[in-house]
Amino acid sequence: MNAAASGSDGLPPLRDVIARYELAAKKSLGQNFLLDLNLTRKIARAAGDLSKQTVVEIGPGPGGLTRALLMEGAKRIIAVERDERCLPALDEISAHYPGCLTVEAGDALKVDWTRLTDGAHPVTIAANLPYNIASVLLVTWLETEPWPPWFDRMVLMFQREVAERITAQPHTKAYGRLSVLAQWRTRPHIVINLPPEAFTPPPKVASAVVDFRPMPTPEPACRAATLSRVTAAAFGQRRKMLRSSLKQLMPLPELLLREAGIAPERRAEDLSVTEFATLAAILDRAPHNRG
């Protein structure tokens, strides 16, 4: 039986690694580590067959999920980590899996993703995201132009409340900008729920892993930036009727709403993803409507 099949990868237990490199978790970096390799392997398996994938991992930290991805057969991992204290631990993993792990030291918010992945294909983004920047990163990836993007799949951990917003349906409180953008361009669904105790230290809230499969040609076609402007205006005043909330975008929203066949008395929460994208598509075609 090989090391992976036996449940161990031959590297020291994560608790020992954390103690040896003094990796006390920093709240400012959203550090809630996953130390149970069975759990991280379950997350890695949720990303499907990794044997032909280049995996982009954000925030490998001491390497719990990284090791699991490698044990599950990831062909290659490119990891971006901001905390330099973690780099020696990640070097050990690189040495154990020669040629499989590249670590980029730096801030994921400043990465040029096409440069980082350099034409690699297929690519899966897999991460236990730092929660303070999780939504910003997600929106950056979802707003990628041109589309289809440089990645083929995303398997990402969020606070459960954010995961529920991403997957929320109309007529619910959780439905909002993230739901519309995510569901217009991908098919997001929650694949694993985790209680706070799964992490060290435990965060205050529960977490969930969301699987996103990009759709090659999201319908109706519009610019992601326009869709984001429309949803920002509509959900910015979600209790108001659209004829009022969309005044942020243009002086006479009724014209736009009529062209889209949407009653001006409706509210953001009641519009489907398709209706939002229809509004954005009309705005893209008719710049005079932009107000």
Under the rule (CB under 6 A), what is the footprint of ligand SAM?
29-34, 58-61, 64-65, 80-83, 86, 107-109, 128, 130, 133
Nearer to ligand SAM, 22 or 251 (CB): 22
Residue 12 or 236 with smaller CB distance to ligand SAM: 12
Choice between 162 and 283, CB closer to ligand SAM = 162
- Quick one: 156 or 256, whose CB is closer to ligand SAM? 156
In the chain, how long is the greatest CA-to-CA distance? Answer: 69
Separation CA 257–CA 275 (nearest Å): 10
Shortest-Cβ-distance residue relative to ligand SAM: 59
Say whether 67 sits in a helix, a strand or coil: helix
Q: Which two structure tokens, joined as six digits, stand for 64?
A: 């719990």
Chain mean position to CA 225? 17
How many residues appear in the chain? 291
Least separation in angstroms between CB 223 and ligand SAM: 27
DSSP alpha helix (H) spans, the chain? 14-20, 37-46, 64-71, 87-96, 113-117, 134-142, 160-167, 177-185, 224-236, 242-245, 253-260, 273-285
Can the peptide bond before residue 88 be classed as cis, meaning omega within 30 degrees of 0? no
Task: State the nearest-atom distance from the C-beta of 24 to ligand SAM, in Å.
Answer: 12
* Distance in Å, CB of 279 to ligand SAM, minimum: 33
As measured in angstroms, the least distance from the Cβ of 116 to ligand SAM is: 12
Task: For the CB of residue 58, give the shortest distance to ligand SAM in the complex, in Å.
Answer: 6
Sequence-ordered list of residues with C-beta below 8 angstroms from that of 15, at least 6 positions apart, any chain: 35
**133 vs 273, beta carbon nearer ligand SAM:** 133
Decide whether 33 or 276 has the Cβ nearer to ligand SAM: 33
Residue 258: CB minimum distance to ligand SAM, A: 44
State which residue, 192 or 283, has the beta carbon closest to ligand SAM.
Answer: 192
Of the candidates 113, 118, 137, 116, the one whose C-alpha atom is nearest the C-alpha of residue 127 is 137
Of 1, 4, 19, 130, the closest CA to residue 67 belongs to 4
Beta bridge partners of 189: 211
Q: Which is nearer to ligand SAM, 136 or 225 (CB)?
A: 136
**Cβ of residue 82: shortest distance to ligand SAM, in angstroms?**
4
Smallest distance, Å, CB 101 to ligand SAM?
13
Q: Check: CB of residue 62 under 8 Å from CB of residue 4.
A: no
- Is residue 108 within 8 A of residue 59, CB to CB? The reply is yes
Q: Are 198 and 34 in contact (CB under 8 A)?
A: yes
